[in-house]
Structure 1
């Protein structure tokens, strides 16, 4: 990609600064970073080989691995008080991570234009979330607060030959901390604006020479950024409790066993949107504070909003000899969400959707790893059995108020075999080959019924509701499909010097087809045969060329990558307003999932870290992406030219620094760290068509002042996020023709927040 003078004029100062850093430091960026997202000066002085990840299921340095991966250590995340994984997106190339609309803990993730914005049952994620190699099948409760981690790795591009579940866009991998060989106790406390109060307590201890136990308890609480003007309650508040317990056993030096369990409960108030239009019949004005609401739907199925999630896992890792090791990963997870969604955000019942989501999964993976002098690789088999269920009412005001009950019950059974190996042809030249064969079996049941009145259906608690019509009844095994696919990966990397590694790769990704759980056969006049077939799988072919480098003894590290993707049969779920009775007025909405035939994606990613002195670090990131639909048919017409890629800003940039000042306190040595960050996100479309919910380009500024005692036992910090108090949209609902008032609401990212943290390690 060539940047013309005109394009350069459009780039904001943050982008220009990031590019300048990259050029001055040799042209490409690093993947492991220090407190601000880049490696510490100490590590840099010792060489970049200190930076180790397990992106390919074995320990490798970031310099050596021919994969686009960015790593964040626990120390980095702690130093800048990173709250959850969505905060990482500002320093990640071509990545969007955010809480889904109307939720606090459901994740919407996109990498390089590939993702999935609809959290309903039946829609697989485009970006996989892994906790210790365990794939989370559903996005509910995936916006996890960061605690008890060793590092987080983010991989860009298709992942299938290395991981249990195939993910077509990329992967976010939590690596939790192993228990220490001696008694270890840690405490982290946070107070801040909006009544923020948080505490994380961690403790572990050996109970014998071969066994250790440990646990973490976390509490995250904050008042709302706005108020509910109808109920007097909070809006955008936070009330989350989380815990993790684990036991680790080493019966012999070759055998490691971990039994772990975790649980999260989110009791935050319903998050309600900001209306962008005046009420159509009431003339209700637009509120001045984007975080305020007038919503009056507070419960679903008679319960306040609540999200519960828990899981258990068992990992057994056995080293057979110096070359071979085998691992078993067994896991089960469940979650349940009561979600009262007030689409209209007014103090009347105009467009309400009380909903229930439940998910459960069981997965088993076995893999075999080989590490030889010239050949290294992993091979495995994977199985997952998952169920995703949702039911909700669509309650609409009108001449005849109605409550439409929709139930979607989706079973997924998938198995796969995969292998990926790397062979060193010479000391400098390596060839990597991988392949995966996947079988996805999906069965679904969909029921959609219209009831008279605005009091809901029997399925959501109104036993006396009067049935008007059944639009869809596809139960009893009529919805079933099986998709099979082989996806290869090949990469060549050449280290033309010990500190410079160039690589080229080709990889394919695959995501199985399925069924829209909001199917309306009558209202949308979908032929029964089309409904039974469901939507098709999507595939992607990605070509990538990259260069990873280190200069001046590792004090400067860079990474650059260019990529091109051929994206086929893109799955695009959406909801459309429909007229179910032919009176010329929209009176319901239904799911319409489209397979956009063809799309082309090309982009550039640059990252750099320069340890200018032992105390001063400067880092930058710039990414560019050009994602276009080439074939997108609607009603038999190719409308590709009028469609956009959602959650994929064309330009993103980040510039950050860390300056350490020796500063003894209370008779103990320590250092004061001044940390700053400026981020830029380009204009972002929330849907495939333009709307008022789209977000124009914006900038965010963060800063921290942190003191760390020399022995690492005490850390105290003052942190400011979004210091410019920028209001930026992260999602919304667009149904201006439904109900009496019309719905056009937006949700926003967090405003300016200032907090103080104290960490103590006993």
Structure 2
């Protein structure tokens, strides 16, 4: 058994022996945080809950144990102490959450293996996991890469949420609540220092301007040098450079009316995003056109063949400039037994990337830049009613978005030798492809409108029926134009027949397309819940959901003659059937909590990302897979036998696979050869110069990015004491996680299988009764070598590059609340 597997088994066993799950400490933290996070009525609701976790997942204040919904709740203090300062780090303590990010734009956020297809992101389809911050929907998943800013509580809701939330979500939602303005003066300040020159500072101040107006301002700054050394430039890449600012003004002219104006600005300017050499595999390209032969011909060798030397030699400039900002106006008006809410918001996203898309130190792809700007407007109206027997939420939601992209891709001096067959004399002429440039202009207009509602009818004291409905309209309009210019500035029309032009057009083809589509969807869900005993709730849910239409916004695939396939402009909506049963329980005088859920989600016309392995023809396009299924079991267990000890274990088994996908892209070992025609038998995998299938049947294989097994576990013990004359407690905490192997390519391949790994984080410190917290921390304490992602380099050369996960990091944090 491998070392990391042995270590994982020991750590997991120790955690179970200690009766561990999401820290019970988080119950107190989240309950306290929700006072500020959910408007002024929260404090009244908190008073009688005896330390319950209070959530707003169903748009009203409830105990997390009382709602028939699988939800993970994480408090602000827990996020700080575990180092989970953004969504990416949440997955170490929420095992059903998966986030992959090769750069902020190409980020996938999934729950239970579903949400968005793994791989290059397209603007033309919707996210299956919604991100909400203070009721505002964030359509750009790049928001998940930013630091949390003055966050009180994070709720991870699993399963379809379309009858409760503004934007339809088929896989779940991440509901983030920030601390709200207060009429008592208060503040927090925090500073962290660590290795790799890690520096993080966060602060927030809140207080009154008058009897009816209160303000809150918060700021966050994170900086760290990169963990990969670029030997060509002498720079460290994969750095962190995040700035966040947020301001809120609360006007409360009457006890039943609260109006909050909020604005935020978040900026990233990291030296990112790069990769390292991992391995090469045999493809079906001719042997003299595979990586070893091409590298030898160009006298090239990677700086290291050991990925965990963390050395790179990328020669193109790297940048991940990223700004997300916005303004929102939230009105809560208590009308009779319910609350009327209006949320009006504008969001802006400005993305300025620079990449090295050949993953080598050779000047093959000289530039790959696709800057984008998004403006998003949303309006949501919602009325939440509560009575002894009936609760309901009804709402309307409108969404308008425009994204403009200005793409620039160009070839370098080594492109001719790398891309043109050696038998062609043009391969020895660098000027053929050097400077060949594609300029892409595109925009997307997306409009969505919906009405939704959910009713909770308490038929008896124990039995509740909860139906929900949603009616949704979506329209998408796209535009894509690619113009191609030679190194001398001559524009190619695509009709040229001379050999030089044909070699150039094999890299970049001019194209013009304007796909558009619209669709109506009616969906619904039904949940039945029954209180089997005090503090034991059983529930069953069926949801008929959908993910709306998509369009191919990055250009259309072409036929054998190079003609764009117009029918591929739009893709069908996903048709989702979701089933779930669960039990929520507390026992041992509520010192222990055990929640179990079993689920199955069937999706027809699953929206998949397809790539064709070529350098510049397409970044990837969308297509429908016939059927996908995700099913599994989840368990969350928490114990707190005393104020001096708490422990937790979360576990998930997820079986997510393609039930039927017969025309999928092929993995690298079956790509690069002559495409098989009718009657021809494809060659064996990895046969140089062989015959490749036009596409592959991957039915029955696992979805990319999904581990069958995932666990998080940990514990904390404390003892009373004093420090610097301050009374409080000394504490020692541990948080661990394990996930089994997963595929890092849409079509599974042994070449892109990421091995399972475990991570261990420790912390030790002192908390005073007056808000001082001083602690030291070490993350990835055993310096586990693991990959976050593996990448197949373009051109079917067999090169596999990768993004190593963070090595061991350590440091200290001092925070104070006043």
Q: Structure 1-normalised TM-score?
A: 0.89
Q: Is the 8 A contact 1:557 1:608 kept in 2?
A: yes
Mapping for residues 349-360 of structure 1, pairs under 5 Å: 349-351=363-365, 352-360=367-375
Greater helix fraction, Structure 1 or Structure 2: 2
Is 2:770 the counterpart of 1:711?
yes
1:597 aligns to 2:653 (yes or no): no
- Counterpart among 278, 289, 292 of residue 311 in structure 2: 292
Q: Structure 1 residues 46 and 653, CA, compared in 2 at 3 Å: closer, same or farther?
A: farther
Q: Distance in 2 between matches of 1:715 and 1:587?
A: 52
Q: 1:621 aligns with which of 646, 650, 666?
A: 650
Q: Which residue of 1 aligns with 2:541?
A: 505
Q: How many Å separate the matches in 2 of 1:633 and 1:415?
A: 34
Instruction: Identify which range, 113-122 or 612-621, moves more after superposition.
Output: 113-122
CA distance in 2, matches of 1:371, 1:727: 51
Change (3 A) 1:679 1:521: closer
* Superposed counterparts of 1:549-568, under 5 Å: 549-568=585-604
Equivalence for 1:222: 224
Equivalent residue of 2:586, what SS? strand
Separation (CA, whole Å) in 2 of partners of 1:525 and 1:35 = 62
Cα shift at 1:526: 7.7
For the pair 1:375 / 2:394, whether they are aligned, the reply is: no
Question: Match for 2:758 among 690, 693, 699?
Answer: 699
Shift of 1:179: 1.3
Contact 2:181–2:250 (CA under 8 A) maintained in structure 1? yes
CA gap of 1:560–1:508, structure 2 versus 1, over 3 A, is same
Bigger Rg, which one? 2
Separation in structure 2 between the aligned mates of residue 593 and residue 526 of structure 1, nearest angstrom: 18
Preserved contact between residue 343 and residue 353 of structure 1 (Cα < 8 Å): yes
Give the deviation of 1:748 after TM superposition.
Answer: 2.2
Quick one: which of 392, 408, 428 aligns to 2:442? 408
In the TM superposition, 1:112-191 aligns within 5 A as: 112-116=112-116, 117=118, 118-191=120-193
Give the secondary-structure state (helix, strand or coil) at the position aligned to 1:78: helix
Q: What are the superposed Cα offsets for residues 383-425 of structure 1, whole Å, 9 maximum, x if unpaired?
A: 0001223332333412331333334321110000000010100
2:729 maps to what in 1?
671
Secondary structure of the residue that 1:160 maps to in structure 2?
coil
Q: Structure 1 residue 109 and structure 2 residue 128: aligned?
A: no
Residues 69 and 154 in structure 1, CA contact (< 8 A), matched pair in contact too? yes
TM-fit CA distance, 1:198: 1.4
Residues 269 and 703 from structure 1, CA distance in 2 versus in 1: closer, same or farther, beyond 3 angstroms?
same
Match of 1:34 among 26, 32, 38: 26
Q: Using the TM superposition, name which of 383-392 and 741-750 deviates more.
A: 741-750
Change over 3 Å in CA distance of 1:727–1:589 after alignment to 2: farther
Match of 2:377 in 1: 362
Match of 1:268 in 2: 270
Decide whether the 8 Å contact of 2:626 with 2:660 is kept in 1.
yes
1:683 alignment counterpart = 741
Equivalent pairs counted in the alignment come to 722
Contact 1:39–1:609 under 8 Å retained in 2: no
Deviations, residues 72-126 of structure 1 (Å, cap 9, x unaligned)? 111222233322121111221322124x11x258642111120224333213212
**Deviation larger for 346-355 or 135-144:** 346-355
Please state how far the C-alpha of 1:711 moved relative to its aligned partner: 2.0
Q: State the SS of the aligned residue for 2:742.
A: coil
1:463 maps to what in 2?
A: none
Which residue of the partner structure matches residue 760 of structure 1?
816
Deviates more, 1:640-649 or 1:623-632: 640-649
> Is this contact kept in 1: 2:790–2:803, CA < 8 A?
yes
Aligned residue in 1 for 2:329: 314
Aligned 8 A contact 1:131 1:173 in 2? yes
Query: Cα deviation per residue 1:284-334 (whole Å; 9 max; x = unaligned)?
Result: 1352445332112216xxxx541111110000000012x122110000011
Residue 438 (structure 1) shift: 0.8
Task: Check the 8 A contact 1:480/1:532 in 2, yes or no.
Answer: no
Q: Hey, what's the Cα distance between the residues in 2 that align with 1:257 and 1:167?
A: 27
Residue matched to 1:252: 254
Counterpart-to-counterpart distance in 2, 1:68 and 1:457: 56
Q: Which moved more, 1:148-157 or 1:108-117?
A: 108-117
* TM-fit CA distance, 1:677: 1.6
CA gap of 1:435–1:495, structure 2 versus 1, over 3 A, is same
| Structure 1 SS opposite 2:515 | strand
Gaps of 5+ in 2: 36-45, 281-290, 417-426, 493-500, 665-693
- Corresponding residue for 1:630? 659
Distance of 1:48 and 1:274 partners within structure 2: 51
In structure 2, distance between residues paired with 1:688 and 1:51: 38
Deviates more, 1:392-401 or 1:350-359: 392-401
Q: 1:133 and 1:38 mapped to 2: Cα distance?
A: 18
For 2:213, the equivalent position in structure 1 comes to: 211
Cα pair distance change 1:432/1:693, threshold 3 Å: same
1:143-181 C-alpha deviation (Å, 9 max, x unpaired): 121231110000011110000000111111110111122
237 and 449 in structure 1: CA distance in 2 versus 1, 3 angstrom threshold: same
How far residue 648 of structure 1 moved from its aligned partner, in angstroms, is: 1.0
Structure 1's 525 and 542: CA in aligned 2 closer, same or farther, altered over 3 A? Answer: farther
Deviation at 1:377, TM superposition (A): 1.1
Equivalent residues in 2 for 1:436-447 (5 A)? 436-447=470-481
| 1:517 equivalent in alignment to 2:553 | yes
C-alpha displacement of 1:723: 0.8
- State the match for 2:516 in structure 1: 480
Q: Is the 8 A contact 2:300 2:362 kept in 1?
A: no
CA distance in 2, matches of 1:661, 1:720: 21
Whole-Å Cα distance in 1 between the matches of residues 231 and 783 of structure 2? 22
CA 1:383–1:266: 2 relative to 1, 3 Å: same
CA–CA distance in structure 2, aligned partners of residues 45 and 13 of structure 1: 41
Q: Provide the rounded CA distance (Å) in 2 between the counterparts of 1:220 and 1:452.
A: 42
- Between structures 1 and 2, the one with greater strand share: 1
Distance 1:744 1:140, change over 3 A: same
| CA distance in 2 between partners of 1:32 and 1:419 (Å) | 33
Distance across 2 between alignment mates of 1:374 and 1:484 = 33
* Aligned position for 1:52: 54
Partner Cα distance (1:70, 1:48) in 2: 19
Aligned Cα root-mean-square deviation (Å): 3.0
Q: Is the 8 A contact 2:733 2:762 kept in 1?
A: yes
- TM-score, normalisation: structure 2: 0.83
